[in-house]
């Protein structure tokens, strides 16, 4: 028998219980119809079949959580919990760090629902914020407890407010790292396709020349950016093809200004030359890398620049355009992407888990992990990319990304063993963030 309780939202998925903001979870031994339990202990003992600690898998381990942090990890027989601790039995399940998506757009929704142009130009900001609130909840319940959001796509600085709302417990959602408006070269971005007499609002902030780049980078940092994001290339060539936008000097200035404030820089780059300039300028992550070459990937490996390949976004866009995946040959862009990811892996480039979610449905972030495996990573390598590797790349390894004492209790339990079958990450049984359980499947 499966019971479900919710105090946050109505649940349509079976076996789903949501616990947060004062909601009371059921614990091992609770009975239907019993009197309401006493206030819960701040200590929780989790007893899964196995623990993926962010690097390796361990059988027979337990995890003791006190408050918002992990207190003890190791063989279950060696962990003694206080008498008032709540005990969560997770038989048959794998417990692992909360998953991380290092490339998201919380203000976008799938392009087969509404085109990108129309989302940027026609949807009111209040509507986009309301929708993004739902996106954050769906993402958290899917087991992703941290997001790096790489551009509001016309929603100005609303990501800063949503980050604050999550941090203050006003709305449920993952931990957020935000980049506000993102930065593009004048004339290179969109929306496009309008009478050239009109200055159409853009989906990112334009900056030109060293003075312009300096001003815009400082402005976005001052308004709350955790990361600075620039577009090192974009589709502004003579035939709409991708070409480099900023000069190497402009990109280097942006990195210099960002670093002086303690902010890292991510750069969108799909061409080999755009990627080369981004790496030489000092970007810490390259987003997409569609046309990366073995030479540029070797340069990335030498400079320790990570790649967020965002495979799921391109895969989704091609399906929106009519590609029947599984029954038709892969389009050229998909074949190119597959080759570039394999070249990056072969060159020893650090691979992040970053999906570009928003192009496709929020809460379906697992698509990227499944595709990383399809494109050449082993399941355990993909899981590392979404946990310990992403945490290190985001400079958060001292807080998240591993199941280890002293780190935040951001934990996810899934049915089965995702180190053998990556699709197991879709079978979420429990989501905990900062010691609070937001989702729990109750089995009797």
For 93-141, write each residue's pLDDT tens digit.
999 999 999 999 999 999 999 999 999 999 999 999 999 999 999 999 9
Residue 56 has a CB neighbour count (10 Å cut-off) of 10
Alpha-carbon distance 341 to 227, whole Å? 24
Pairing relationship of beta strands 69-75 and 61-66 according to DSSP bridges: antiparallel
> Quick one: DSSP state of residue 169?
T
> Quick one: DSSP state of residue 370?
H
In whole angstroms, how far apart are CA 52 and each of 56, 60, 220, 400? 6, 11, 37, 14
Pairing relationship of beta strands 86-97 and 43-52 according to DSSP bridges: parallel
In the chain the first and final C-alpha atoms are separated, in Å, by: 5
In whole angstroms, how far apart are CA 323 and each of 326, 332, 338? 9, 11, 16
Q: Which residues pair with 355 in a beta bridge?
A: none
In whole angstroms, how far apart are CA 14 and each of 8, 9, 190, 212, 361? 16, 13, 41, 52, 20
**Is the Cβ–Cβ distance between 24 and 37 less than 8 Å?**
yes
Q: Which residues pair with 288 in a beta bridge?
A: 269
> Quick one: DSSP state of residue 208?
-
pLDDT-flagged residues of the chain (< 50) = 1-17, 19-39, 444
Q: What is the pLDDT of residue 7?
A: 33
Q: What is the pLDDT of residue 34?
A: 37
Dihedral angle sign, alpha carbons of residues 347, 247, 228, 336: negative
For 390-415, write each residue's pLDDT tens digit.
999 999 999 999 999 999 999 999 99
Residue 327 burial by Cβ neighbours in a 10 Å radius (0-12, 13-18, 19+):
exposed
């Amino acid at each position: 028998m499966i019971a479900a309780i919710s105090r946050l939202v109505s649940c349509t998925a079976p076996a789903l219980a949501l616990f947060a903001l004062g909601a009371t979870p059921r614990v091992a031994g609770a009975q239907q119809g019993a009197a309401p339990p006493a206030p819960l202990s701040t200590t929780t003992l989790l007893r899964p079949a196995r623990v993926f600690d962010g690097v390796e898998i361990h059988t027979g381990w337990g995890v003791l959580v006190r408050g918002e942090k992990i207190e003890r990890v190791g063989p279950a027989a060696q962990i003694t919990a206080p008498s008032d601790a709540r005990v969560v039995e997770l038989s048959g399940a794998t417990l692992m760090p909360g998953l991380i998506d290092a490339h998201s757009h919380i203000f976008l929704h799938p392009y087969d629902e509404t085109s990108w142009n129309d989302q940027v130009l026609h949807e009111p900001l209040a509507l986009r914020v309301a929708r993004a609130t739902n996106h954050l909840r769906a993402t958290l319940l899917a087991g992703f407890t941290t997001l790096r959001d790489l551009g509001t796509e016309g929603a100005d600085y609303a990501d800063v407010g949503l980050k604050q709302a999550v941090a203050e417990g006003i709305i449920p959602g993952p931990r957020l790292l935000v980049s506000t408006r993102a930065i593009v070269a004048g004339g290179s971005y969109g929306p496009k396709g309008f009478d050239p007499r009109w200055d159409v609002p853009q989906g990112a902030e334009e900056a030109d020349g060293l003075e312009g780049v300096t001003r815009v980078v400082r402005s976005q940092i001052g308004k709350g950016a955790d990361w600075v994001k620039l577009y090192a290339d974009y589709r502004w060539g003579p035939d709409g093809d991708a070409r480099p936008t900023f000069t190497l000097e402009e990109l280097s200035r942006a990195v210099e200004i960002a670093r002086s404030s303690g902010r890292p820089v991510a750069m969108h780059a799909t061409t080999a030359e755009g990627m080369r300039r981004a790496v030489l300028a000092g970007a810490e992550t390259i987003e997409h890398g569609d046309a990366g070459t073995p030479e540029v990937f070797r340069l990335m490996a030498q400079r320790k620049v990570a790649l967020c390949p965002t495979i799921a976004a391109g895969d989704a866009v091609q399906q929106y355009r009519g590609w029947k995946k599984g029954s038709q040959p892969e389009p050229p862009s998909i074949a190119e992407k597959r080759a570039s990811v394999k070249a990056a892996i072969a060159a020893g480039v650090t691979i992040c888990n970053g999906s570009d979610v928003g192009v496709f449905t929020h809460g379906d972030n697992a698509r990227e992990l499944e595709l990383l495996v399809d494109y050449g990573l082993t399941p355990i390598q993909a899981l590392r990319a979404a946990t310990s590797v992403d945490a290190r790349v985001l400079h958060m390894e001292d807080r998240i990304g591993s199941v280890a004492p002293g780190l935040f209790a951001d934990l996810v339990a899934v049915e089965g063993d995702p180190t053998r079958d990556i699709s197991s990450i879709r079978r979420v049984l429990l989501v905990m963030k900062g010691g609070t359980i937001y989702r729990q499947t109750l089995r009797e």
